[in-house]
A and B are shown apart, each in its own frame.
Chain A
Amino acid sequence: MKKIVWGIWLLATLVLAGYYGWLLLQADDKSELLIGEATHGHFQIELACSSCHTQAFGGGEVLQDACVSCHGDDLAMAHDSHPRKKFTDPRNADLLKVLDARQCISCHTEHQNERTHPMGVTVPEDYCFHCHEDIGERRPSHVELPFDSCASAGCHNFHDNRALYEDFLVANSGGPWVKSVAQLAERNAASRAPLPDLPAPAFDDTALMGKHPQVAADFLASSHAAAGVGCAGCHTGNNDQWLQKPELNQCKTCHAGEVETWLQGKHGMRLAQDLSAMSPSMGRLAFQAHAGDRHQGCTSCHGAHKFDAKTAAVGGCLECHADQHSLAFNDSPHGLLAQQALNNQRPWSEAVTCATCHMPRLVNGDTGIKVDKESVSALGESAIVSVTHNQNLTLRPNEKMIRPVCMSCHSLEFSIDALADESLIQNNFKGKPHQHIESIDWAVKREQR
């Protein structure tokens, strides 16, 4: 009897060990190993375990390196207000016992979605208090403020304060809530880049276009045709053979920056980790029912052969996105400007589209620089204007959008108020903010002291 029990135990152990060993080393679907639902930021790649767990052994430093390898450049560009190096001096030993700000995961613990606050924060929202509890002694205006309001009321961010720091508030105080509609600077990144090495013409373009008249009509009206890029430019695969469906590799021959930034955002991050392409059916937002299986790639927004940036800038988005903010766009003040520009009633440079805010033009890739024609021309010949395809770059916290986007047309004060008003965001900025964030008033008052 004893032998049978031991036999069953041994067999069960071997089966379990074998199953989990297979899961760990061989299985494509490792979802059973997940210890909890991933956050909004990472759920798309939660099954690409090695993106973050880069080594089988090792402690927090392994994870820290993984965080920095994806987010380090953004933090540097954001002039991170709380970089790790501010906390490494031993004089901070007591503070670090409460909150070890040297490690990203102290505040951003993954797989804990049920206790994750906005911005992927997994500590109680009064975290500023631990180091700044005496702020009222130097800022009487702050005395009665709730401890969890520092980073949630539109006044401060932990990392990116480029649009919120005191001197910036003072320097950009005043002014009408909306100036004239700005003219955005023209893109010039492609014309500044060295000429790409395109595949040599290897196909009979005339015969191909004769077979596909609609494709030919779309192509001949496109900027590809205007630039002299023929069928082979995109449709050449390995060994110079015809490639029916060109992919990222073909596009990035000429559009390296666009592909690189696209892979960093929500549309391309799965492909960047060698997972299947993202589609709305995998998403957590509200999408059009018919769009569930639209796998994301360059042509899902730009359309094969037409490659019309104007269509991509609004139509491309609304083809899939059906949340309240997206559905309210066409009827919003920004949507009307976009419509007028599409109808040739105003120049395209004045159109405010989904992409104007979510995939903005950037000067030298920097989200801190304004991109209206006047500001860019003041920078001289060295300014390179490109379109980031990382929709996430300026999305959260939304104050990141103020400098490269909002302030081209709006005052800083209005921009801060509008972005702090959740109902205004939902109706796509139709109306005025319902509340006023007093940070500029306080900063100006202190300056006049």
Chain B
Amino acid sequence: MKKAVIAAALGVSALVLSGCGEPESKGIDPKVYTDSLFAVMKADRTNYTKLVVKRLGPAGTNVIQPDEHWKDIPNGTLLPAQMFRAGAEAVQEMTDDFTYSLQSIWPINSQNAPKTAMEKEGLEYIAANPGENYYGEEKLGDVTYFTAVYPDVAVSDACTSCHNDHKDSPKTDFKLGEVMGGVVIRVPL
């Protein structure tokens, strides 16, 4: 009897464990995830800069005034960098699945300079290697993140002229097509 019980128990265990051998269902690769997010961000950022700010701002029909203090101006509108940040802040109110920010090693606002070691390394890498992205993992607080850094390129002379002429800009010789900073996307692992 004892033997029969043991045999039955082993049989059941084998049946249960046999499920473990099936291939694990895989989620999306973090790199594909952040690359896709960046594609959307870059498209929107470029479109806002070219189709709104450049077209309707002082360099175009001059009906809107892009300004850091846009809320204080009747026809004021967000600077492209502020528009990008407003998107990042709105996303944070919707989900914790990823965060993103716009940073530079030549920031007008020093709070947008790299803060973590990986941000610094990533921003320097994409500046030194045009066309390439940077990927890594870092621990912030108690959480480990997949961190991707993408180049933010000057897509319009509205970008270069504003940065080159700004009294707080550490770099004043940006050219069209150059890397001006980077988009940092983080996914908690």
A residues with CB within 8 A of B: 79, 85-86, 88-94, 96-97, 131, 134, 138, 162, 165, 167-168, 368, 446-447, 449
Distance in angstroms from B42 CB to nearest chain A CB is 19
SS class of chain A's interface: helix, strand, loop or mixed? helix
Distance in angstroms from B69 CB to nearest chain A CB is 6
**B167 lies within 8 A of A90 (CB):** no
Q: A92-B115, A168-B72 are in contact. List 18 more A-B contacts (CB 8 A).
A: A79-B69, A79-B71, A85-B89, A85-B93, A86-B89, A88-B99, A89-B88, A90-B140, A90-B186, A91-B101, A91-B115, A91-B116, A93-B141, A94-B115, A94-B140, A96-B141, A134-B110, A138-B110
Instruction: Tell me the complex Cα distance, A187–B146, Å.
Output: 58
Output the nearest chain A residue to B115 by Cβ-Cβ distance: A91
B residues with CB within 8 A of A: 68-69, 71-72, 88-89, 92-93, 99, 101, 110-111, 115-116, 119, 140-141, 143, 145, 167-168, 184, 186, 188
**A447 lies within 8 A of B115 (CB):** no
Output the nearest chain A residue to B89 by Cβ-Cβ distance: A85
**B69 lies within 8 A of A90 (CB):** no
Instruction: Tell me the complex Cα distance, A371–B171, Å.
Output: 42
Output the nearest chain A residue to B69 by Cβ-Cβ distance: A167
Instruction: Tell me the complex Cα distance, A85–B92, Å.
Output: 8
Distance in angstroms from B12 CB to nearest chain A CB is 44
Instruction: Tell me the complex Cα distance, A86–B101, Å.
Output: 11
**A91 lies within 8 A of B184 (CB):** yes
Give every chain B residue within 8 A of A89 (Cβ-Cβ): 88, 92, 99, 101
Output the nearest chain B residue to A137 by Cβ-Cβ distance: B110
Output the nearest chain B residue to A88 by Cβ-Cβ distance: B92
Give every chain B residue within 8 A of A447 (Cβ-Cβ): 167
Output the nearest chain A residue to B110 by Cβ-Cβ distance: A138
Output the nearest chain A residue to B71 by Cβ-Cβ distance: A79
Give every chain B residue within 8 A of A368 (Cβ-Cβ): 72
With a 10 A CB-CB cut-off, give which of B141, B145, B184 has the most chain A CB atoms. B141
Distance in angstroms from A403 CB to nearest chain B CB is 10
Give every chain A residue within 8 A of B140 (Cβ-Cβ): 90-91, 93-94
With a 10 A CB-CB cut-off, give which of A79, A90, A97, A162 has the most chain B CB atoms. A90
Known: A138-B110, A446-B167, A447-B167. A90 touches B72 (CB 8 A): no
Instruction: Tell me the complex Cα distance, A94–B88, Å.
Output: 20
